Amino acid sequence: MRIAVIGTGYVGLVSGVCFSDLGNQVVCVDKDERKVAMLRAGEVPIYEPGLKEVLVKNAEAGRLSFTTDLTEAVQQSEIIILAVGTPSLPSGEADLRYIEQAARDVALSINEYKIIMTKSTVPVGTNHKIKQLVSDLSMKPFDVVSVPEFLREGSAVKDTFNPDRIVIGTDDATAATKIIELHQQLTDNIIVTDVRSAEMIKYASNAFLATKISFINEIANICEKVGADVTKVAEGMGFDKRIGSSFLKAGIGYGGSCFPKDTQALIQIAGNVDYDFKLLKSVVDVNRDQRYSVIHKLEAIYPDLATRKVAVWGLAFKPNTDDIRDAPAIEIIQELVARGVKINAYDPIATDNFRKVVEHENITWCEGAMEAAAGADALCLLTEWPEFEKTDLSALRATMNNAVLIDGRNVFSEEELRDKSFIYRSIGRPN
């Protein structure tokens, strides 16, 4: 099939690259000339394992190209994928400016029947608005199909090729058939539904996953008080097929560009129809408070925390990404710095992005994990990068001023740290 993808952010670029790998002819469109030039040169502007290889392979095979010319891309394609950003407005509502503009641009370029496939996460009713917007500007035939995206950053390529399900929301049977065909090599779990339900599936899924995380984090907080181990509790719960074992890892809460934004947006969507989504509001509150557990644990060890030097390992909102959007590390570091604490910070790849958001004379940006730990009174692990698991604990003990480790992601075990005479605190496990 001939496909144009509008927007080369995470979702757009990964979708475009992967659809080309499935044998389709794909052109990715972006307004940013610099980005398009980079992509044409085989450079990937985001950190995403495996993406560059698939991109280069398909570009060389002539199945994948990049352009700033939206009109030409739309006219030569049967399917137009809208994958532009829907960031949060200060109210928490999704900002639909970019997707509406993209829809207008597409409308003005349509020359013959097109399927407009929306992948951006949009509030219920948006695809109907897009349909209206396009038909106001164009007399040509088209259908709008909502196909929400469920890929995760850091495993985006793998997720795209191995989806748990594909959701197709449309009122038109012919468009549905075409979009089923586009995805049928990927999975048998294809759900065809109306547009509003498809839009809701995306928000409900992210809100449910966020709920699982806040739930296990609250269980972790109780475990600490009653002397239970949340990792064992989660394991024991997870064997129940009705519960499932994933997304029950206790820690310092969720971050990233999706859960924080989408939970807020769903609270707003509910509010707009006079529904108070109490459960989800609590999920958001619990998540915000959970970040501070690292600081409470530090304070419990050091009543004079303000005079101390703290090493931070991990700045990205999760491993395998340089994305720091809504990363717990932002608030934690800002709070520590506000109290006068000196910070040595290290992340394998996210430091440059982090420094665009947080910069302070009391923060030293380090090139390596051991360099950050040197002379520190405590070490806080905030992102579970694989390299931290392999730490030589004796060397770590020797380089720190005091062997205090606050493990915000339960990477280490109490026994191994005790053997190395660390003061060790983790999340929801007996200390």
Backbone φ and ψ for 377, nearest 5 degrees, come out as: -85, -20
Binding flags for ligand UGA, 146-165, as an x/- string (CB under 6 A): ---xxxxx------------
Query: In the bound complex, what is the minimum distance in angstroms from residue 210's beta carbon to ligand UGA?
Result: 8
Q: Which of 251, 348, 408, 428 binds ligand UGA (CB under 6 A)?
A: 251
Catalytic residue among 18, 28, 223, 258: 258
Q: Which stretch binds ligand UGA (CB under 6 A): 28-36, 242-250, 295-303, 395-403?
A: 242-250
Longest dimension (CA), the chain: 74
- For residues 12 and 343, which CB has a smaller minimum distance to ligand UGA in the complex? 12
Is position 30 annotated in a ligand binding site? yes
Query: In the bound complex, what is the minimum distance in angstroms from residue 325's beta carbon to ligand UGA?
Result: 9
* Contacting ligand UGA within 314-353 (CB under 6 A): 317-318
Question: What is the DSSP pairing of strand 166-169 with strand 309-313?
Answer: unpaired
Is 255 a binding residue for ligand UGA by CB under 6 A? The answer is: yes
Query: In the bound complex, what is the minimum distance in angstroms from residue 231's beta carbon to ligand UGA?
Result: 11
Distance CA 110, CA 116 (A): 10
Is position 8 annotated in a ligand binding site? no
Is 428 a binding residue for ligand UGA by CB under 6 A? The answer is: no
Is position 251 annotated in a ligand binding site? yes
Distance CA 347, CA 353 (A): 10
In the residue annotation, 380 being an active-site residue is answered as: no
Is position 143 annotated in a ligand binding site? no
- For residues 65 and 214, which CB has a smaller minimum distance to ligand UGA in the complex? 214
Query: In the bound complex, what is the minimum distance in angstroms from residue 293's beta carbon to ligand UGA?
Result: 12
Is 168 a binding residue for ligand UGA by CB under 6 A? The answer is: no
Count of residues engaged in binding ligand UGA, rule: CB under 6 A: 21
Active-site residues, by number, are 258
- Binding-site positions read 30, 35, 86, 121, 150-153, 202, 247-251, 255, 261, 318, 325
What is the contact surface with ligand UGA in residues (CB under 6 A)? 121, 149-153, 206, 209, 213, 247-249, 251, 254-256, 258-259, 262, 317-318
- Binding-site positions for NAD(+) read 30, 35, 86, 121, 153, 261, 325
